[in-house]
């Protein structure tokens, strides 16, 4: 699958920078092209200047809203970010259209942090503009949720996250959710931690994108998982994960202990992947899913594939699951898992609930009247849209 990637704001731009690095890695290591173009869009000049892998020209690093912000950002006001994106949207689209490989693109991936101003405001607006022009290409949003300390100490954070997520859900074909808090490590500095988190967010896409673009016969799987399978899987709220085991020495499978250990590898892989999902959720809520196994050919057999499929179906019983194998890795057994069309995501519901309560409180104070509390479904419309 070939993606065109656009990062909005500081968070989105840095993750897009990792996708640019991923694309270079695929070209160098595997002679495969999986990224047709990478762009960073921002209202802040300094953030655009701090990128490493995205081409340092005006086409690929797009400054918007400079007449309103002076190149210094929108100060976490995502309504302003959305307004600027509406005004300068054609500037972004013109930059994309100049990409030499634009026509080869299978799908767009737009990335932003939910808590900020520029990215949170712009991502849904530009998704809508692209959808109006390129109705045949899927549009996916990857939205990064704030750290816990941001939610607790910055009053604007939850409001931005709720309005961003609602707006994105309305226009995107799928919203891939990433919880920053899931990746945090106390062993890194702030800068090192963010860089590590961004790399971990992008890593699950490597084999997933490469598998369907592989051209060397020895690396083509018996069940190819390509762009069509991914497109048919991604819908609505979505999470992604990646797990890796070392491929050990082939054991004596005539010994029942070795045979039993061999049979547990698939279950262990799936359990590890589920524990590392980009957002904690209930897999039973998924309506669609896929998994891709990547390992040396000798490490993959029918029983392994069967064990993995059976266990994932047990975990996500309502999901239509697509599968694939990719005999590429050396010395390790890897799996990429996507769960999509999630019917209930507690963290998102909490954002909506808190925002509705905040808006209700503001209205009550402003109007001086009692406002009757309504349930989430009824009050969903009270969350402002950025579109």
pLDDT tens string 149-187: 888 887 789 999 999 999 999 999 999 999 988 887 645
Q: How far is CA 156 from the centre of its chain?
A: 23
Q: Is the pLDDT of residue 316 over 90?
A: yes
Whole-angstrom distance, CA of residue 267 vs CA of residue 289: 16
Q: Count of CB atoms within 10 A of residue 79's CB?
A: 15
CB 171 within 8 A of CB 124: yes
CB 89 within 8 A of CB 47: no
Average predicted confidence (pLDDT) for the chain? 89
- 196 or 376, which is more confident? 196
Considering the entire predicted model, what is its pTM?
0.91
Same fold, 3-202 and 217-340: no
Measuring CA to CA, how many Å separate 214 from each of 202, 297, 301, 305, 347? 19, 15, 20, 20, 37
3-202 under CATH 3.20.20.70, yes or no: no
Q: Which pLDDT belongs to residue 306?
A: 85
Report the distance separating Cα 295 and Cα 292, nearest Å. 10
Any idea what the Cα angle at residue 286 is, between residues 205 and 194, rounded to 5°?
A: 40
Task: Tell me what percent of the residues of the chain surpass a pLDDT of 90.
Answer: 68
* Whether pLDDT at 379 is above 70: no
**pLDDT tens digits, one per residue of 67-114:** 888 888 898 999 999 999 999 999 999 999 999 999 999 999 999 999
pLDDT on residue 189: 58
**pLDDT for 356:** 87
Instruction: Look at the chain and count its residues.
Output: 387
- pLDDT in the model for residue 187: 59
Q: Which of 246-250, 294-298, 308-312 has the lowest mean pLDDT?
A: 246-250
Two structure tokens written together for 241: 């994960």
pLDDT of residue 51 exceeding 90: yes
Domain ranges for the chain:
3-202, 217-340
Ranges of beta strands (E only) in the chain are 3-8, 35-42, 61-63, 107-113, 139-145, 174-179, 236-246, 288-294, 320-326, 332-340
pLDDT at residue 205 greater than cutoff 60: yes
* CATH number among 3.40.50.720, 3.40.50.2300, 3.30.1330.20, 3.40.630.40, domain 217-340: 3.30.1330.20
Structure tokens at 212: 């369907």
């Amino acid at each position: 699958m070939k993606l065109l990637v656009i990062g909005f704001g500081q968070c989105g731009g840095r993750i897009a920078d990792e996708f640019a690095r991923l694309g270079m890695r695929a070209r160098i290591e595997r002679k495969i092209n999986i990224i047709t173009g990478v762009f960073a869009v921002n209202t802040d000049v300094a953030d655009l200047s701090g990128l490493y892998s995205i081409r340092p020209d005006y086409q690929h690093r797009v400054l918007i809203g400079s007449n309103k912000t002076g190149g210094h950002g929108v100060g976490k006001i995502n309504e302003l970010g959305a307004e600027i994106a509406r005004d300068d949207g054609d500037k972004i689209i013109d930059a994309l259209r100049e990409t030499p490989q634009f026509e080869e693109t299978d799908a767009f991936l737009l990335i932003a942090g939910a808590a900020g101003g520029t990215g949170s405001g712009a991502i849904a607006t530009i998704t809508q503009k692209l959808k109006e022009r390129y109705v045949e290409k899927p549009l996916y949003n990857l939205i990064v949720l704030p750290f816990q300390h941001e939610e607790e100490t910055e009053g604007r954070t939850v409001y931005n996250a709720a309005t961003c997520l609602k707006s994105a859900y309305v226009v995107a074909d799928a919203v891939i959710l990433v919880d920053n808090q899931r990746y945090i490590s106390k062993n890194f500095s702030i800068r090192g931690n963010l860089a590590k988190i961004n790399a971990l967010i992008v890593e699950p896409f490597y084999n997933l994108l490469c598998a369907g673009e592989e051209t060397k016969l020895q690396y083509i799987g018996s069940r190819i998982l390509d762009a069509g399978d991914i497109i048919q899987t991604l819908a609505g709220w979505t999470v992604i994960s990646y797990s890796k085991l070392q491929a050990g020495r082939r054991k004596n499978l005539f010994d029942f202990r070795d045979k039993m250990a061999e049979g547990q590898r698939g279950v262990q892989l799936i359990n590890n992947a589920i524990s590392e999902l980009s957002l904690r959720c209930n897999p039973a809520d998924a309506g669609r899913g896929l998994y891709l196994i990547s390992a040396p050919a000798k490490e993959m057999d029918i029983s392994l594939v069967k064990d993995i499929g059976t266990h994932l179906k047990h975990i996500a019983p309502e999901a239509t699951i697509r599968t694939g194998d990719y005999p590429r890795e050396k010395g390790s057994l890897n799996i990429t898992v996507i769960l999509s069309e999630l019917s209930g995501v507690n963290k998102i519901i909490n954002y909506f609930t808190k925002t509705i309560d905040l808006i209700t409180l503001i209205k009550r104070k402003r109007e001086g009247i009692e406002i009757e509390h309504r349930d989430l479904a009824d009050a969903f419309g009270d969350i402002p849209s950025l579109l």
